[in-house]
Chain A
């Protein structure tokens, strides 16, 4: 029964079909991979941006003038006189 339709010439269209399906699957994989690649690249860019922004915020928060003002106004501190500084 099986042998009646399992002819040698059928191998060609079946192989073509399998190759075509494989091609489509590969194309899909390539697309997915490229999408993932784009996403990772975007993440990397965003992270670099975040680092840049955080570095700027850190520089802003630790700028000497701000620290001086905070120390003087909020903590009541004053700059030490040279004789009060001890180098160990």
Chain B
């Protein structure tokens, strides 16, 4: 009995021991399975549970003007998102109301997919606070960067704008997107058992903020240019316009404005066509503002001098089967007269005499027909025919600005050549570029030629010239007006559609500003001198004092005098009777007199009668007859 009992106990012990061994064996197998076979998968799962990774968006770099004023800045603002399948249907009404949306709109957004959906992006902080106060399951508060441009429409075309995902879509924002965009960071944080983040997180990749950039633009001059253009366009019921203000010494672009503007902070409210920076993307036929370069080419050829005279065919001249006309028929004009009276025939005759190649070379060196390398997207190179297509008609036309297309920026760079005594300086938009040693400086024409053309351009803004309305009181301006018929889609010219242009620089003695004004389709007047010149004056008279360029005081008030000599007068005659226009001009230049000329040929009448009694700066009027 006892034996049986002992055997039973022993078997039970053996069975239990066997089961324990089996259990231990199974545990060992499971341990090997978990620690060895499934190790990687389980480690990953555990880490996913313990750790969470966040993407931290880096702010976009700011854009500043030349004086460090903010032109564009990114600020963090809230957005509202949701895990669509976690939002209770019965709370959609109050969510919609807090967001300022209809219930149907919220339902449609949440119905798009099951996971993460945006409900409202970049909302005011008060709206985000209202929504989060509702404590609705699944609704999340996210942070995003939003771009603001405090100057709004004034810098809209130039700076462009940034999309909701922080990518530059137009203008400077697009051209320099890579530098401005920051690099987002990745942060890993540990989570506790309830899923709350523990504070000892670490950066897997630190966010790198975008680089800030400094432009050469001056916010004050930009604002002045925009306001002046807006007023000029409104006064003329024009379609639009552009203004470029450039410092000729170093090519710094101080202002670039277009009208009509749009608000880049709300860019979707404008049509895509209105986003273009027309000062660099759109080309136009410059018309008479190109004549100074034709005259420069003629003087540079050595065949012509400033006082050489050209017969302007009394207003009509045939070249091949094409007739060139002048608005104001003229007889004999010297080169200054061609600029002052804006004679197409005079400019055409000079070009035909000099030949196509020198004129083409002059225009090419002055920057026409190629991009100016500012880096702005969509910049047009303009249209300059290849030299082999320059026949007599083309040469004659281009000499007075037809058959060639330029951008306002190209025109600014080209007029800087005249202001810089013949040197071309590449336009610069980025302040960092200003001090680069490789800044392009090429000689386009000799100093002497540039000075002579500058002097002629100053005449063009005298009371006799077409650009008299461009002159602010107290400053001397050199400039040229242009009135160009707009080309149509059929390869001809539109009837009644014109561009009015004024291109010039001030002050003449030490040019600080080159200003280009283009007014598109003015209605009340079509002439550059009536439409664009007042805009030039408005910009110059506000910008020059701001830049510290003092107005001249004293006997010279609202007029400019051609400063030539301070030595004793070489001219001793009382009367100018019988003199040629060239002699009269030389006398006026020597004596520093302001000259008003009527007609051509030889002097038949003068006012006042005794020119010896005149002082420097006084006016003398002469009438010439053939």
Contacts and interface: CB of A to CB of B under 8 A. Distances in A.
A58 B550 contact: no
A80 B472 CA distance: 12
Interface in A34-61: 34-35, 37-38, 49, 52-53, 55-56, 58-60
Interface stretch (B73-81, B83-91, B330-338, B362-370): B73-81
A55 B542 CA distance: 26
A56 B545 contact: no
Interface residues of A, number: 27
B150 interface: yes
B199 A37 contact: yes
B74 A52 contact: yes
A6 B373 CA distance: 89
Interface in A8-39: 30-31, 34-35, 37-38
Interface stretch (B217-225, B309-317, B560-568, B576-584): B217-225
Given A34-B198, A65-B223, 16 more contacts: A34-B199, A37-B199, A38-B201, A52-B73, A55-B70, A56-B70, A56-B150, A59-B70, A59-B71, A62-B69, A64-B220, A64-B223, A65-B151, A82-B541, A85-B551, A87-B548
A83 interface: yes
Interface of A: 30-31, 34-35, 37-38, 49, 52-53, 55-56, 58-60, 62-65, 68, 79-83, 85-87
A85 to B, nearest CB: 4
A79 B542 contact: yes
A57 to B, nearest CB: 8
B536 interface: no
B75 A53 contact: yes
A65 B226 CA distance: 9
Interface string B463-499: 0000000001111000000000000000000000000
Contacts of A35: 199
Interface string B522-545: 000000000000000000011011
B144 interface: no
A86 B31 CA distance: 91
B200 interface: yes
Contact of B224 (A34, A63, A64, A80): A64
B194 to A, nearest CB: 16
B261 to A, nearest CB: 11
28 contacts: A31-B199, A31-B200, A34-B198, A34-B200, A35-B199, A52-B73, A52-B74, A56-B75, A56-B148, A56-B150, A63-B150, A63-B151, A64-B222, A65-B226, A65-B227, A68-B223, A80-B545, A81-B473, A82-B472, A82-B473, A82-B474, A83-B551, A85-B545, A85-B550, A85-B551, A86-B550, A87-B545, A87-B548
A28 to B, nearest CB: 12
B196 to A, nearest CB: 12
B154 interface: yes
Interface in B69-119: 69-71, 73-76
A82 B544 contact: yes
A73 to B, nearest CB: 14
The 8 closest A-B pairs by CB, nearest first: A64-B223, A82-B551, A59-B70, A85-B545, A59-B150, A60-B150, A34-B200, A38-B199
Interface string B221-240: 01110110000000000000
A53 B70 CA distance: 11
Contacts of A79: 542
A23 to B, nearest CB: 16
Interface of B: 59, 62, 69-71, 73-76, 148, 150-152, 154, 198-201, 219-220, 222-224, 226-227, 472-475, 541-542, 544-545, 548, 550-551, 553
A13 to B, nearest CB: 29
B550 A56 contact: no
A65 B150 CA distance: 11
Contacts of B220: 64
Contacts of B542: 79
Interface centre among A37, A49, A83 (most CB of B within 10 A): A83
Given A59-B73, A64-B224, A65-B223, A83 B199 contact: no
A87 to B, nearest CB: 5
Contacts of A82: 472-475, 541, 544-545, 551
Contacts of A58: 70
Contacts of A55: 62, 70, 73
Contacts of A62: 69
A64 B553 contact: no
A30 B152 CA distance: 49
Contacts of A56: 70, 73, 75, 148, 150
B544 to A, nearest CB: 6
Contacts of A65: 151, 154, 223, 226-227
A81 B223 CA distance: 17
A49 B76 contact: yes
Given A49-B75, A49-B76, A68 B150 contact: no
Contact of A30 (B62, B200, B222, B474): B200
Contacts of A59: 69-71, 73, 150-151
A86 B549 CA distance: 10
Contacts of A38: 199, 201
B219 A63 contact: yes
Given A31-B200, A85-B550, A64 B545 contact: no
B51 to A, nearest CB: 15
A68 B222 CA distance: 13
Contacts of B223: 63-65, 68
A68 B227 CA distance: 10
A58 B62 CA distance: 14
A31 B192 CA distance: 13
Contacts of A83: 473-474, 551, 553
A52 B75 contact: yes
B233 to A, nearest CB: 16
A82 B474 CA distance: 7
Contacts of B74: 52
A59 to B, nearest CB: 4
Contacts of A52: 59, 73-75
A14 B49 CA distance: 36
